[in-house]
Amino acid sequence: MKEYLFNFKERLGYEEIFLEREKVNVPKSLNIRDNEINENINFEYKVILPGERLVEDKFAKYSSVIILFHGLNERSWDKYIPWAEYLSTHTQMPLLLFPISLHINRSPQLWSDPRAMQRLVNMEKEVKKEESEELLSDQNLTFVNYALSTRIKASPYRFYLGGRETVLNVCQLMEEIRAGHSPIFTKECLVNIFSYSIGSLLSQVLLMANPFDYFSESKLFMFCGGSLFSEMNGNSRMIMDRDSFELLNYYYHNDFINDYELSNSPKDSIYMAFLAHIDKELKQKERYAFYKKARNRIRAVSLKKDIVIPSSGIRNAMGPIWKKCLKELDFPFKYSHETPFPTIEKGRSVELDYWFEKVFSPAALFLKQQ
């Protein structure tokens, strides 16, 4: 396997996102505006190749690629490298690991500093303890999720803006590929997607909105993802705390729809596709029509004990065609949404490998078929 890093400088939609971000509040404890985070605008994405393909010291360009989208509140690619390497090996296609806005290497190092974040958590808990006698143990505020939780509480609009920015980033990437500017992919390169968790919501919006008709032929394989927003549960020590998730849920069922309709913010196909995935009743006709048309291009694997992205939420998103597209698994070892393949005790690695194959073998087969 070969890994390469490629530079990306945000251009498409930059001014729009910048102006929208000026509306969001800045958390006092973090004291940095989103528009001042330079690593979110200029960053690197990773490409894993199945093998060396050089012609006269240059890449023999690939005619297909799988983009991998990660989950919410991720700060590194570590969990995803084995997934990407498996898919690349078994499809003989490159895997392009694209970071979501303000995640992975697109976020400040401070947000990944356990000591710095734990100090802020302790300070916040002390303030809450003085203000209330309520027990704080069930709020799930940790050094892992502090940065995201605090930023969501300051302005839940950030969630949509980050997703919209990432969609526009991927469209810019596609524009560069189609124009023949990619050093590694042909102009006609087929682009498929493997997504996990919130990366699946991003992918659903991407395919349904289909900006510039870039994704008319793209296939999508979702793992632990694909639910309606209303049926997700982001209250997790690894994702965001209880208060942040409750505010996020309330905002997108109320203020987001009302405020957006009254504002001058863009109401294009990206907005409409996101709106269609908030709740079962919102844009249901359009959403069901999309999945019916795309039923041969979409597959999903859910986990029975996943409480963050439940199977029921995926079924309600897809509508009547879910039986063709969705398969639910239940691993015989202890797992969670955040850690579907945990490090387990000695002697059970064969079992873990077996269930890993049950997810990724069908994914590879589906994504490599033309």
Please, how many CA atoms are within 13 Å of residue 196, restricted to the half-sphere of its CB? 23
Residue 76 lies in a domain: yes
**Cα–Cα distance between 89 and 101 in angstroms, integer?**
28
37 is a domain residue: no
Report the C-alpha gap between 254 and 259 in whole angstroms.
8
193 in any annotated domain: yes
Query: How far is residue 238's CA from residue 306's CA, in Å, rounded to a whole number?
Result: 14
Tell me how far CA of residue 72 lies from CA of 14, 269, 331, in angstroms.
22, 23, 22
| Token pair belonging to 28 | 């006092």
Span 71-87, average pLDDT: 96
What's the rounded Cα separation, in Å, for the pair 198 and 263? 26
In a domain, 125, yes or no: no
The predicted model gives 311-335 an average pLDDT of: 97
Q: Which of 34, 62, 36, 38 is nearest to 48 (CA)?
A: 62
Specify if 239 maps to a domain: no
d(CA 186, CA 168): 21
Instruction: Give percent of the chain with pLDDT exceeding 70.
Output: 92
Specify if 128 maps to a domain: no
User: Residue 209 sits in which domain range?
Assistant: 2-24+43-109+159-234+268-368
β 298-303/220-223 pair status: parallel
pLDDT at 2: 86
Predicted confidence (pLDDT) per residue in 107-157, tens digit: 999 999 999 999 999 998 888 776 665 545 558 999 999 999 999 999 999
pLDDT at 139: 84
DSSP per-residue string spanning 39-94: GGTEEEEEEEESS--EETTEE--EEEEEEEE--TT---STTTHHHHHHHHHHHT--
Residues 91/192, Cβ–Cβ less than 8 Å: no
Residue 149 lies in a domain: no
For range 67-86, the mean pLDDT: 97
Find the CATH number of the domain harbouring 229: 3.40.50.1820
Q: In this predicted model, what pLDDT tens digit does every residue of 267-283 receive, in sequence order?
A: 899 999 999 999 999 99
**Number of domains the chain is built from:** 1
| Residue keyed to tokens 């990724």 | 360
Residue 192 inside a domain? The answer is: yes
Following DSSP, what letter does each residue of 104-124 receive, concatenated?
Answer: GGGS-GGGG-HHHHHHHHHHH
Q: What are the pLDDT digits (tens) for 189-217?
A: 999 999 999 999 999 999 999 999 999 99
Q: How far apart (Å, rounded) are the C-alpha atoms in residues 241 and 149?
A: 6
